[in-house]
Chain A
Amino acid sequence: MAAQITMNTPMRYARMLGVGAYRPDRVIPNSEIVDAIDSSDEWIQSRSGVKQRYRARPDESVVDMSEVASRDALAMAGLDASQIDAVIVATVTHMYQTPGAAPLLAARLGLTCAAFDVSAACAGYAYAVSVANDMVRAGTADHVLVVGMEKLLDITDLTDRGSAFIFGDGGGAAIIGPSDVPGIGPTVWGSDGTKSELITQAPSWTDFGANRDLPWPTLRMEGPAVFRWAVYEMAKVCQQALDATGITADELDVFIPHQANIRIIDSMVKQLKLPESVYVARDIVETANTSAGSIPLATERLLRERPDLHGTLALQMGFGAGLVYAAQVVVLP
């Protein structure tokens, strides 16, 4: 008979212990981008809610930005970096096929723990939170550092009327650790690869490598079709996440959808019939759409501006290129 495998600690609960953010120094108001797309501040705001976005310096990397947000999250959690035993970075703008951003970030923090990236676009942070929750619950790790960070303007065509105004740079981090009571609800997640063309990079790196006359690869998006999918399909997923957690919209305190577009956010709120008492994150107005960075950025802002929301119940929902999505209810740190 084979020897018995020794298991980690028995199943336990997990929760978010702290969040942190990084917003680059340089602010770009709509007035600085309108000429290239023959548009206006008014049009951009009515179309997306965006008033400005942050832009990272050319010499600043996703790893540099992640380090700042991670130290911020560690401070809120009251933990030393040495207490982290897994690092997950959700990003699509760490511009190396390999190595991943997470091992580099871990090294910056003086760590040699497990470290890997998640590629799930705008749902990346919610995916990573789900994985971290499972890791802590199963005893695979005690404290997981989750980062959602993007330098999206490096892959944005600033002359494309359909997308130039929507994206920005930045992101945030969260620490997931053990808890005596449930702090992260079941994740409702999925994908629909048949709609992959709705948000995609063009041209591919392979085509660009073979033909340098092609334009630098940037994001392309079918805005109206994405809007329809996000509002009508993702609102159902939000409801499923509430149902899976056993709470009603009336019992929810905060809604933190991916900051894709204010029109999507407002329409989702309407579809979900969220009561006025639910605080809805609208960080997109000042930060634009930062893909995997948007939920932690919005979370950090709302806890800074509304300290009374610490410890309350938030529904967070990521959705984007893939198409992929993930939603879960969390207790805010």
Chain B
Amino acid sequence: MAYTDDEILAGLAEIINEETGLETDAVQLDKTFTDDLDIDSLSMMTIAVTAEEKFGVKIPDEEVKNLVTVNDAVTYIKNAQS
């Protein structure tokens, strides 16, 4: 069963909350991980690996650095499911 965009966003928000303590409401599609959410590249790796497990997808190292906004991540995970 494929996750919807809203489910992916909600799941990512939970993962980010667990890793950084950031409120889930702060995780919006247009936010950038680095500048808006203050997530560094090491935390980003942890978030990517946790998202892989949660959504059953692969997010290779070289793709993680291309995920600039939350929307980038939602789109990547949605496409990787199919």
Q: Which residues of A does B touch, CB under 8 Å?
A: 46-47, 222-225, 227-228, 231-232, 261, 263, 267
Bound complex: CA A228 to CA B64 (Å): 11
Bound complex: CA A225 to CA B45 (Å): 8
7 further A-B contacts with Cβ under 8 Å, apart from A224-B64, A225-B61, A227-B41, are A223-B41, A224-B42, A224-B61, A224-B65, A231-B45, A263-B42, A267-B46
Give which listed residue, A224, A232, A267, contacts B44 with CB less than 8 A.
Answer: A224
In the bound complex, residues from chain B placing their C-beta under 8 Å from that of A224 are 41-42, 44-45, 61, 64-65
In the bound complex, residues from chain A placing their C-beta under 8 Å from that of B65 are 224
The distance from the CB of B47 to the nearest CB of chain A, in whole angstroms, is 11
Bound complex: CA A228 to CA B53 (Å): 14
The answer to whether B49 has its CB under 8 Å from any CB of chain A is: yes
The answer to whether B5 has its CB under 8 Å from any CB of chain A is: no
Q: Judging by beta carbons under 8 Å apart, are A232 and B49 in contact?
A: yes
Interface size class of B (residues with CB under 8 A): 10 to 19
Interface residues of B in 44-82 (CB under 8 A from A): 44-46, 48-49, 61, 64-65
Q: Judging by beta carbons under 8 Å apart, are B42 and A47 in contact?
A: yes
In the bound complex, residues from chain A placing their C-beta under 8 Å from that of B49 are 228, 231-232
The answer to whether B40 has its CB under 8 Å from any CB of chain A is: yes
Bound complex: CA A164 to CA B42 (Å): 17
- Chain B residue at minimum C-beta to C-beta distance from A232: B49
The distance from the CB of B15 to the nearest CB of chain A, in whole angstroms, is 14
- Chain B residue at minimum C-beta to C-beta distance from A43: B40
Bound complex: CA A46 to CA B44 (Å): 14
Which 3 residue pairs are nearest across A and B when measured between Cβ atoms?
A: A225-B61, A224-B41, A228-B45
Task: Choose among A47, A224, A227, A267 the residue with the greatest number of B CB atoms under 10 Å from its CB.
Answer: A224
- Chain A residue at minimum C-beta to C-beta distance from B59: A228
Interface residues of B in 8-50 (CB under 8 A from A): 40-42, 44-46, 48-49
The distance from the CB of A327 to the nearest CB of chain B, in whole angstroms, is 20
Q: Judging by beta carbons under 8 Å apart, are B40 and A228 in contact?
A: no
In the bound complex, residues from chain A placing their C-beta under 8 Å from that of B42 are 47, 223-224, 227, 261, 263
In the bound complex, residues from chain B placing their C-beta under 8 Å from that of A263 are 42
Bound complex: CA A232 to CA B65 (Å): 18
In the bound complex, residues from chain A placing their C-beta under 8 Å from that of B64 are 224
In the bound complex, residues from chain A placing their C-beta under 8 Å from that of B45 are 224-225, 227-228, 231
Bound complex: CA A247 to CA B41 (Å): 35
Bound complex: CA A305 to CA B36 (Å): 42
In the bound complex, residues from chain A placing their C-beta under 8 Å from that of B44 are 224
The distance from the CB of A198 to the nearest CB of chain B, in whole angstroms, is 9
The distance from the CB of B39 to the nearest CB of chain A, in whole angstroms, is 12
- Chain A residue at minimum C-beta to C-beta distance from B44: A224
Bound complex: CA A272 to CA B42 (Å): 18
In the bound complex, residues from chain A placing their C-beta under 8 Å from that of B48 are 228
Q: Judging by beta carbons under 8 Å apart, are B41 and A228 in contact?
A: no
Bound complex: CA A225 to CA B64 (Å): 10
Bound complex: CA A46 to CA B41 (Å): 12
The distance from the CB of B81 to the nearest CB of chain A, in whole angstroms, is 21
The distance from the CB of A260 to the nearest CB of chain B, in whole angstroms, is 11
Bound complex: CA A34 to CA B64 (Å): 27
In the bound complex, residues from chain A placing their C-beta under 8 Å from that of B40 are 46-47
The distance from the CB of B3 to the nearest CB of chain A, in whole angstroms, is 22
Bound complex: CA A228 to CA B46 (Å): 7
Bound complex: CA A47 to CA B65 (Å): 17
In the bound complex, residues from chain B placing their C-beta under 8 Å from that of A222 are 61
Can you name 23 A-B pairs with beta carbons within 8 Å?
A: A46-B40, A47-B40, A222-B61, A223-B42, A224-B41, A224-B42, A224-B44, A224-B45, A224-B61, A225-B45, A225-B61, A227-B41, A227-B42, A227-B45, A228-B45, A228-B48, A228-B61, A231-B45, A231-B46, A231-B49, A232-B49, A261-B42, A267-B46
The distance from the CB of B7 to the nearest CB of chain A, in whole angstroms, is 24
